[in-house]
Amino acid sequence: MFYAIDLFCGAGGFSEGIIQAGFHIVYSSDRSPHVKETYEKRHRQLGLIQGINTHFQLSDIRDLNGEKILSDINNLEIFRENSVEEIDVIFGGPPCQGFSIAGKRDKDDPRNTLFREYLRIIKEIKPQYVVMENVAGLLSMELNTGFESVSGRKYPDNSLITEVLPEELDALNYNVEPIRLLNAADFGVPQRRKRAILIASRKDVVKAQYPVPTTKEPNEKVTVMEAIGDLFSEGKLSEYAVGLQEGRTPHFANGMPIPNYFGTFNQETSSHAAAVQERFSLFAQGESTQDVVDKIISNGLDLNEYPNLFRELIFNSNSSHNLSELKVAIDEIKPNLYLECDPKERNKKYKSLLKKIIKFWDTELEDKKVKAVLGNTNLTVEEFTLIYNQCKKTWNKSYTEEYIHDLFKYKSKEITEFFLDALLTKKDSRIRIDGEGTAPTMLTLPDDFIHPVLNRILTVREMARIQGFDDSFEFMGKRTTGGSKRKDEVPQYTQVGNAVPPLLAYAIALEIKQALINTQPKEPVIT
């Protein structure tokens, strides 16, 4: 049995591949209590029990040290008589927000220093092999100002991290393979997800190699429909889907995977407003927001075919005018409303009231329903009704329905960014996934991707299928979150989007396992 440590483990994507390759994960760690719930439940399901044969530590890596990690491992029930003398491999993916091409790319982001902490743990534990994974942006990221070397070496400002890592590991007695960019789609995953991978081998062991792609050719790729088609329509399951139903990750005790043929975890669908569904319907498979914009400008759009979206477009286009008229109505009917609020808070309350008025725009006002939505508006039903009736007379006058209809249908080349934003919102990264191809990189925000066939976003399970998680793997906690909570909460969509695809992890871990086998002393041949 080979022993592995998984740091920055998240919900457990890398762990799945590590276990599939035949490793025993004796220690893992992450700082998020949200992923802890998912990770520990899955590992209990696989027979990895806290305190018995594995240890999960809820901790920031800066609070960990090698001595305590080894102590926690040897205090496990299965090792109390025969202690673990050496760790075979440490896997880890230090948080990469500071490195990400899609992110801020701030070289002074404190999260960028976490790879130094990863090196510190390696120095203290001295495993035979080291694997580090990160986003592709790692390849061009510069060192933080004032970087403190683990090895004691000094580096000039603006040194590339890809140059520093090999030098640091060399000083720690490791041979380092040049960092390589691996695409998950080349390893049986229906997703074009590129990750920077570093493999290091201690200088007294056989060097580990990078895995060779198994599905590199276009005709070998797994498609999105092969991954998720059975989840929303009847038909024959693909070989890929069958593999996830039957399970790939073995149980610790009996080596058998956990199947899931009947119940589908995390398949709750999102409920979208009619206007949102009509907006999604503008996208053909594989089209991005920019593709839809180009199509509208070239061919025009008959908004009568999208009545709910047309209505929303009218309100979005007239939002500044309507807000101004709302304030006029309030001044006439209830002067000094929200006067005690600061200007920013007052404006938020005005906008909230504007949305409540829109909600009732095409319906008859009923006292009971109005009272239910007034909340902390400080308005009575009568006052709201008077303001509402005044707005009905004055709103949507800057851009009339006729003007916007004719603009989009007959004068599409004159459509400005203002109207396109009002139609499509400012979500310029949205794309409808091409079901017959591989998906783009799954992200942590679910509304970036439209389902290949249906006018909705993907479910958590559909994203998990595209990542390559077994169907028996259940993601715990809230499905999604928003606003300021995103800094601290790690809901299900984020757990999936942050994960390393298990099949990619499996291919990497299998190479480490083969190097460990090759390192072991050969049995003498008895003649």
Q: Which are the catalytic amino acids?
A: 96
Q: What angle do CA 435, 439, 442 make, to 5 degrees?
A: 135
What is the 3 state secondary structure string of 26-56?
Answer: EEEEECCHHHHHHHHHHHHHCCCCECCCEEE
Spatial neighbors of 319 by CB under 8 A, at least 6 apart, are: 354
Spatial distance between the Cα atoms of 456 and 270, rounded to a whole number of angstroms: 7
Amino acid at residue number 86: E
Among residues 255, 164, 170, 231, which one has the least CA distance to residue 451?
231
| CA–CA–CA angle 261, 12, 137 (5° rounding) | 125
CA distances from 282 to 12, 180, 311, 424, 454 (A): 36, 38, 16, 9, 12
SS3 25: strand
Radius of gyration of the chain (CA): 28
CB 185 within 8 A of CB 124: no
Q: How far apart are CA 397 and CA 169, in angstroms?
A: 67
Distance (Å, whole) CA 292 – CA 298 = 10
| CA 171 remoteness from chain centre | 35
Hey, how many other C-beta atoms are within 10 angstroms of the C-beta on 516?
20
Q: What are the residues whose beta carbons fall under 8 Å from the beta carbon of 236, sequence distance 6 or more?
A: none
Bridge partners (DSSP) listed for residue 3 = 24
- Nearest residue to 193 (alpha-carbon basis) of 473, 520, 458, 500: 500
Strand-pairing partners, residue 89, are 4, 129
Q: Answer yes or no: are the C-beta atoms of 93 and 132 closer than 8 Å.
A: yes
